[in-house]
Amino acid sequence: MPRGAKSKSEAVPPSFPAIHTKLQPPLEAMDAKAVAELPAGNGWQYEPKWDGFRALVFRDRETVIIQSKAGQPLDRYFPELVTALQSLPDQRFVVDGEIVIDVNGALDFDALLQRIHPAASRIKRLSAETPAQLRVFDLLEDGTQVFSAAPLRLRREVLENWSRLNLESDAPVRLSPCSLDLSQAARWLTDLTTSCDGVVAKLREEPYHFGDRRGMVKVKRIRTADCVVAGFRYASKGDAIGSLLLGLYNEEGKLDHVGFTSSFTAEERAELEEKIAGAVPQPGQEAQAGFSGNAPGGPSRWNAYNPRASEWKPLLPKLVVEVSYDHFSGGRFRHGTKLPRWRPDKRVDQCTKEQIAPMRKSAA
C-alpha cells in the first residue's frame, strides 16, 4: 500500500500522553528492505538483527512511551522496561531499538507474543518470569537536540557516548553492537550459536528516514515475508480450516493473492477459527474483505460471504503472519509456505511486495 495510505482495517489512531520532547509519537520507524546478500564496500555499518518487536521509546521524566512499529502503544505490556527506562540518568530522550526476551541464551519470540494480552495480572506475572530487554541501536533525540537528520556515523557516535552515561551491559536496556567489518557481519549471519536471526546493513552517510527503506537493508537466515491473511479454505474433510490465503500489497495499493500456508500442527489448527474470528466480515462488510487485486482462481473477485458460493472464504485485511518460503516468482510463492508466527505488532499496510523485490547493487 502506498506510504501514507490508510488500510481498511485501520483503527482510530492511538492517543499518547503529552510529552516535552521535540519528536512526538506516533512516528514511523525507519524500515529495512530484504535482500539476498550482505552489501559490500565502503560506507556500510552492520548490526545484528534481533528476533523481537521493533520499538521507538520516548521518555519525558517519569512518562515513558513505548511505541510499536505499527504505531501502537506497547508500554503496558512491558512494565519492567518502563521501570528500567525511568531509572536511566537522562530524563528526556527518544531511541530506536528492539524488544527481545532471552530465555537460556536464545531469543524467544513466542514469549513476546504471550505479552500481548489484556489481563494485567498475566502481564505482571510474565514480566517477572520472562523479563524483556530493550536493545538500542539509534538515538533520535536527547531531549535538547534532534539527531534524526544527522548521518548515521554521527548518530552512532552520539549514541555510544549516551550509552556510556546511561546504560550497563547486563541491564534490561543495553546498547546493540555494530561493526564496519563485513567479515564480522558474515559471522553474525552464519554462526548459529548467536541469538540474532540476521544482519541489518545501514549506509553511514544517510539520515534517519522515517517510514522509509532508503539506506537500510536486511539479510535473514531464512527468507521470510510478512503477509496479510485475506482468506482461508476449509480442509478437504470436515469443518476444520485447511489453509490460510496470503496477500501482499502491490504498487497500486491493491492486495494481491500470493499463495497460501497450511503448515499447522493439530493443536494450531484447532485454534485457527478463534484467531480469524475478528476478521470474518459481517453483513455490509463483504466488499472490504478478500483481495482487492488478483484473487485466488484469477482476477475475478468473490464478493459475497456465502459458505456455499465459493471454495474460499474472504477475510477482512486485519491479520498479519510471517511466513518462510523458498522461492517467489510470477507474483506468488511457488510452493506452500511455513508459518513460524503471527505478527500482531505489524500493520497490514506494511505487507508489500517490496519485501520480495531484489535490491539494485549499491555503488558504495
49 is catalytic: yes
Pick the closest to residue 57 from 113, 112, 167, 137 (CA basis): 137
Give me the residue label for grid cell 464478493: 303
Residue type, 7: S
Q: Is 182:39 a contact under the CB 8 Å cutoff?
A: no
Give me the residue label for grid cell 497500486: 252
Q: What is the DSSP secondary structure assignment for residue 238, as one 8-state letter? A: S
The kind and range of the H/E element at 81 are: helix 79-86
Residue type, 59: R
Work out the burial of residue 114: count CB atoms within 10 Å of its CB; fewer than 13 is exposed, 13-18 middle, 19 or more buried: middle
73 preceded by cis ω (within 30°)? no
Pick the closest to residue 243 from 262, 227, 270 (CA basis): 262
Q: Three-class SS of residue 156? A: helix
Determine which one of 49, 202, 218, 220 is catalytic: 49
The whole-angstrom separation of Cα 330 and Cα 226 is 18
- DSSP percent split of the chain into helix, strand, coil, nearest 5: 20, 30, 50
For the chain, give the longest Cα–Cα distance: 65
Active-site residue numbers?
49
